[in-house]
């Protein structure tokens, strides 16, 4: 593999995917963001500040836990869990939120808006806004508001205003639409803090940058523990931010299989076709007329018909593999990890665990799998309880 895999061939493009297809008012906003990002990302004082917050506020570095009992039970590859669930606010989202809020501050914004699905990005954004004393509005699909009522209350506790969006099925896609409308109206004072590796350029590149800490750490940790690279890295894919963060440091290591896991009900990378959605070109689930199809995953964070453009490129080039998992397999994995390791995973992360349960026995005892545990499952236990009854 060559370095080309992480280097878009033109700014904002990953092969034919990515780009920026937005109304004219937004183009200058995105250009300003792009300039700020490229200015600060290599600025030593910015890096120092970002690392300070990762360490002192997020709680990094988090462990790479050897899942000894699960490994023994499955009888195959040694399984390691990258513990993003142990971050402050309980998921990987805060890595990106802290990075973007520092950018927002540098750019002089005093109001932050964001979309959220599971509520995790909303909570992470509201948290960062509270810490930085910024005004915060979160857009959330009405159905997600219902499914994740505790996260709604958390965001309000943190001082954010939560706007419930009932249109378009009331899911993540509708929330993104509304957040973009807000940005078009208020772009002069407002920073749109995007939660996944999606959206028009420069967002996928920014989110990749701030999430890459996951694989930079896991690579160092697995080398320390095992003295070699893993054979596979497994992560769930919604918009693709935890997966891109879990993959990025390994992209040029040809021997490492990169495996993204999607719900069968939102299998964008398996069943999607190229389209422009929310301002960027990527694979997308769509009907005959090219309209985005509604998705129906039990994991709100994976319930999105699009995917980050870099994943479409990794798929097209064959560098990463993408597989699907059923609801039942997710529920089984959710319980399995809880019982065998004492770790309740987020339903999203349980997709990665579910694929690992299939993959580990197919590999040898000398093989190593790193599973990205993108978040903890406390937010999901009430919903899972209902589903199991
Ligand atoms: C939001 C979320 C996801 C899905 O988002 P990605 O951008 O695909 O990572 C996965 N896991 C958890 C715990 C989440 O909160």
Q: Domain map of the chain by residue range?
A: 20-51+93-207, 59-91+212-388
- The CATH topology of domain 59-91+212-388 is Rossmann fold (3.40.50)
Please list the helix, strand and coil fractions of the chain in percent, rounded to the nearest 5, in that order: 50, 20, 30
Instruction: Identify the CA nearest to 219 among candidates 232, 230, 235, 208.
Output: 230
Closest Cα to atom 13 of ligand 1: 375
Contact by Cβ (8 Å): 306, 282: yes
Q: Which of 178-182, 246-250, 303-307 has the highest mean pLDDT?
A: 246-250
Choose which residue among 302, 306, 349, 384 to substitute to test ligand 1 binding: the one with the highest number of ligand atoms within 8 A of its C-beta: 302
Residue 300: per-residue pLDDT = 77
Take atom 1 of ligand 1 and give the residue whose Cα is closest: 301
The predicted model scores a pTM of: 0.94
Q: Identify the pLDDT of residue 46.
A: 98
Cross-strand partners of 263: 325
- pLDDT by residue (tens digit) across 342-387? 999 999 999 999 999 999 999 999 999 999 999 999 989 998 999 9
Average predicted confidence (pLDDT) for the chain: 93
C-alpha angle with apex 177: 373 to 91, nearest 5 degrees? 15
Atom of ligand 1 nearest to the CA of 243: 9
For a ligand 1 pocket test, name from 348, 352, 371, 377 the mutation site with the most ligand atoms within 8 angstroms of its C-beta. Answer: 348
- How much is the average pLDDT of 65-81? 98
Of the CA atoms within 13 Å of residue 129, those in its CB half-sphere come to 28
Distance from the CA of 346 to the center of ligand 1, in angstroms?
A: 9
**The pLDDT of residue 1 is above 90:** no
Query: In this structure, are residues 197 and 240 in contact, taking their beta carbons and an 8 Å threshold?
Result: yes
Q: Show which residues are catalytic.
A: 93, 115, 374
Res 303 pLDDT > 60:
yes
Q: Do domains 20-51+93-207 and 59-91+212-388 have the same CATH topology?
A: yes
Gap from CA of 24 to ligand 1 centroid (Å): 30
Q: Determine the pLDDT at residue 147.
A: 82
Alpha carbons 15 and 314: distance in angstroms, whole number: 9
Q: What is the pLDDT of residues 254-297, one digit of tens each?
A: 999 999 999 999 999 999 999 998 889 999 998 888 888 888 88
User: What residues are in contact with ligand 1 under a 6 Å CB criterion?
Assistant: 91, 93, 118, 120-121, 196-197, 236-243, 301-302, 346, 348-349, 374-375
CATH of 20-51+93-207, one of 3.40.50.300, 3.40.50.1100, 3.10.129.10, 3.20.20.70: 3.40.50.1100
């Amino acid at each position: 593999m060559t370095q080309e895999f992480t280097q878009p061939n033109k700014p904002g493009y990953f092969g034919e995917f990515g780009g920026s297809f937005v109304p004219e008012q937004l183009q200058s906003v995105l250009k300003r963001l792009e300039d700020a990002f490229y200015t600060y990302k290599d600025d030593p004082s910015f890096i120092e500040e970002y690392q300070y917050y990762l360490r002192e506020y997020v709680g990094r570095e988090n462990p790479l836990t050897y899942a000894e009992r699960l490994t023994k039970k499955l009888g195959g590859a040694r399984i390691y869990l990258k513990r993003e669930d142990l971050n402050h606010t309980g998921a990987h989202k805060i890595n990106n939120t802290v990075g973007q809020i520092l950018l927002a501050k540098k750019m002089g914004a005093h109001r932050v808006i964001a979309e959220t699905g599971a509520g995790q990005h909303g909570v992470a954004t509201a948290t960062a806004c509270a810490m930085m004393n910024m005004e915060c509005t979160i857009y959330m699909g009405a159905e997600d508001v219902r499914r994740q009522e505790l996260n709604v209350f958390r965001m309000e506790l943190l001082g954010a205003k939560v706007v419930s969006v009932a249109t378009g099925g009331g899911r993540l896609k509708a929330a993104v639409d509304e957040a973009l409308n807000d940005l078009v109206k208020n772009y002069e004072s407002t920073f749109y803090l995007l939660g996944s590796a999606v959206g028009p350029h420069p967002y996928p590149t920014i989110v990749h940058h701030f999430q890459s800490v996951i694989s930079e750490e896991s690579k160092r940790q697995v080398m320390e523990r095992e003295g070699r690279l893993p054979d596979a890295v497994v992560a769930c894919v919604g918009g693709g931010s935890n997966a891109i963060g879990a993959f990025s440091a390994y992209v040029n290591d040809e021997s490492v299989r990169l495996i993204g896991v999607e719900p069968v009900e939102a299998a964008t990378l398996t069943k999607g076709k190229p389209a422009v959605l929310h301002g960027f070109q990527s694979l997308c689930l769509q009907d005959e007329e090219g309209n985005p199809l509604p998705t129906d995953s039990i994991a709100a964070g994976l319930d999105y018909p699009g995917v980050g453009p870099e994943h479409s490129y990794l798929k097209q080039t064959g560098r990463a593999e993408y597989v699907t998992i059923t609801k039942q397999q997710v529920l089984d994995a959710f319980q399995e990890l809880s019982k065998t390791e004492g770790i309740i995973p987020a339903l999203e992360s349980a997709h990665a665990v579910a694929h690992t349960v299939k993959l580990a026995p197919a590999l040898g005892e000398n093989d190593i799998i790193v599973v990205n545990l993108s978040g903890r499952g406390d937010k999901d236990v009430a919903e899972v309880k209902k589903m199991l009854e």
